[in-house]
Amino acid sequence: MHTDLAPAPGSTTIEIALKIWRYDAVTGDKELKRYEVEAPDWVTLLDVLDIIKDKHDGTLAYRKSCRMMICGSCGMRMDGAAVLACKTRMYDIAKSGHVPVISAMGNLPVRKDLVVDMEPFWDKIRRMKPWLDPGYEEPPEKEWRVSQEKMNVIHKEALCIMCGCCVSECNSMESDPEFFGPAALAKGMRFVGDARDQANVTRLEDYNDEHGIWDCTRCYFCNERCPKGVDPRDAIAKLGAESIKEGIDHDMGAKHAKWFVTSAKTTGWLRETELVPKTQGIVEAIKQTKFAIGLLKRGKVPPPIPPHVAERVNESRRLYSLVKEQGRDGALGIVQGEHALGRIEFTEQAGVKTSDPEVQPGVEPPPAEG
């Protein structure tokens, strides 16, 4: 059972302190200001910002709208990690005595306080040509027939609310601001994976460009910080797999990945000595001979002969066949995973409660929002 449930709304108040990085774009002044408020115990970070703006300082700037995790307005950082303010309940933080630091999202220019300029974000989204290209002359009279299984391939990518939290946290973008970034690439996968879209090869060629999918460093910060479970890094991995399947493997990153696969199905271990020539080419490999001999001497890589074959290489080969057999639908792994999780975690044997609801008549309702 999930243990990270926030407490049910009660009727008590709590003292909450936080520090906010204020920024004035006109004067360029920056200041870390501390605020203390008393608030109902159910409040989120967004509610606290509202209280500060109402009762302490009307000049505080931040975006908000739906306050139910769907509009994507209120992305910001808490203690250096991107969050949706409306999703972040403050009870545990306040009770622990911690005073969190709130700041604007990363990798985007700050305009005022917690408001960033989203234009660079949208530029990258638009660059993906993010609209369905069904390649038809005349659409069918009714809907396209597509199975639920095929739609599930893009289930996670379609959840994206474009809040920018993943872009804020992207380490690749921090070193290369031109990197397409996790949100745009997830949007790209939303079309590459769509059974109705006919432009997947053109798209994949485009996404394999410089600053494209192979520039992701696989730090997984985007997956970790995405408030909606989109898992953009997984989308980038799927784009890589689709690219190679379509023979788009000119990038060094693609070649590198391919050699890992070859190693897995042949020897079960990574064949490091062949990795460099396969990825970077013979010329580059010769240049690195001295380095390779150094590694060999210190036992960092095994000698190429005899081949280093894993003891249970058949397992590795079976795994290879399974992934190949699943094809694109294998990408539905996450959705399948959720189903599997549902079955494992929530069966009656695992203790699903079926008793009547526990009720407590006569208890006063919590105060209305104010």
Partner 1 sequence: MVEAKHDVLIVGAGCAGMRAAIEAHDAGADVALLSKIHPVRSHSGAAEGGINAALGNASEDSPEEHAYDTVKGSDYLGDQDAIEILCNEAPDDVYQLEHWGAVFSRTDDGRIAQRPFGAAGAPRTAYAADITGHVLVHVLYEQVMKRQIPAYEEFFAWKLVMNDDRCQGVIAWDLLDGGLKAIGAKTVILATGGAGRLYVGTTNAYACTGDGMALALRVGVPLKDMEMMQFHPTTLAPTGVLITEGCRGEGAYLLNSDGERFLKSYAPNAMELASRDVISRAEQTEIDEGRGINGNVLLDLRHLGAEKILERLHGTRELSMTFAGVDPIYEPIPVRPGSHYHMGGVDTDVWGLTSVEGLYAVGECACVSVHGANRLGGNALMETITFGKRVGRHAADWALANTTVEVPQSVEADAERELKALLDRQEGERPWSIRDELASSMHENFGVFRREDQMRKQGEIVEGLRERYERVIVDDKGDIFNTDLTQALELGFLLELAACMVPCGLERKESRGAHARPYDYPDRDDEQYLRHTLVTMRDGTPQVDWKPVTMTKWQPQERTY
Question: Please, which of residues 1-30 interact with partner 1 by CB under 8 A?
Answer: 1-2, 5-9, 24-26
Kindly tell me which residue out of 161, 184, 235, 276 binds partner 1, with binding defined by CB under 8 A: 161
SS (H, E, C) 38-80: EEECCCEHHHHHHHHHHHCCCCCCCCCCCCCCCCCCCEEEECC
CB 221 within 8 A of CB 168: no
Query: Between residue 317 and residue 346, which ones bind partner 1 under the rule CB under 8 A?
Result: 338-339, 341-343, 345-346
- Residue number, 59 or 314, with CB nearest to partner 1: 59
Q: Of the two residues 9 and 302, which places its CB atom closer to partner 1 in the complex?
A: 9
Dig out the tokens for 17 from the structure: 């302190």
Specify the residue for token string 């788009």: 248
Site for partner 1 in 85-104 (CB under 8 A): 87, 89
Contact between 14 and 98 under an 8 Å Cβ cutoff? The reply is: no
Q: In angstroms, give the least distance from the CB of 281 to partner 1.
A: 39
Q: Binding-site residue total for partner 1 (CB under 8 A)?
A: 90
Establish if 247 lies at the interface with partner 1 (CB under 8 A). no
Tokens 């060999």 belong to: 296
- In the block, tokens 């695992």 appear at 350
Q: How far is CA 92 from CA 15, 38, 87, 103, 230, in A?
A: 11, 15, 13, 20, 26
Kindly state the smallest distance separating residue 60's Cβ from partner 1, in Å: 8
- Residues in contact with 180: Cβ distance below 8 Å, sequence separation at least 6, in sequence order: 124, 127, 128, 188, 207, 211, 212, 213, 215
Residues 108-137 that bind partner 1 (CB under 8 A): 111-113, 115, 117-118, 125-126, 130-132, 134
Crossing angle between the packed helical segments 232-245 and 252-266, to the nearest 10 degrees: 80
Supply the minimum distance, in Å, between the C-beta of residue 79 and partner 1.
19
CB of 247 to partner 1, least distance (A): 26
**How many CB atoms neighbour CB 237 within 10 A?**
17
CB atoms closer than 10 angstroms to residue 325: 9
Of residues 283 and 363, the one with the C-beta less far from partner 1: 363
Minimal distance, residue 26 CB to partner 1, in Å: 7
The set of residues, in sequence order, having a beta carbon less than 8 Å from that of 39 and lying 6+ positions away, is: 13, 14, 16, 47, 48, 51, 90
Nearer CB in complex with partner 1: 146/286: 146
Q: Which is nearer to partner 1, 305 or 363 (CB)?
A: 363
- Region binding partner 1 by CB under 8 A among candidate stretches 31-39, 153-161, 270-278, 325-333: 153-161
* Residues 31-70 close enough to bind partner 1 by CB under 8 A: 40, 42, 53-55, 57-59, 61, 63-70
Minimum CB distance to partner 1 smaller for 15 or for 369: 369
The least distance separating partner 1 from the CB of residue 206, rounded to whole angstroms, comes to 16
Q: Are 329 and 195 in contact (CB under 8 A)?
A: no
Which three-class secondary structure state does DSSP give residue 279? Answer: helix
Q: Please identify which residue in 29, 97, 135, 145 interacts with partner 1, judged by CB under 8 A.
A: 145
Question: Minimum CB separation from partner 1 for residue 327, in Å?
Answer: 18
At closest approach, how far in Å is the CB of 92 from partner 1?
Answer: 12
Residue 64, phi then psi, degrees to nearest 5: -160, 155
Output 203 or 271, the one with its CB closest to partner 1.
203
Of 92 and 174, nearer to partner 1 (C-beta) is 92
DSSP type of residue 85: G
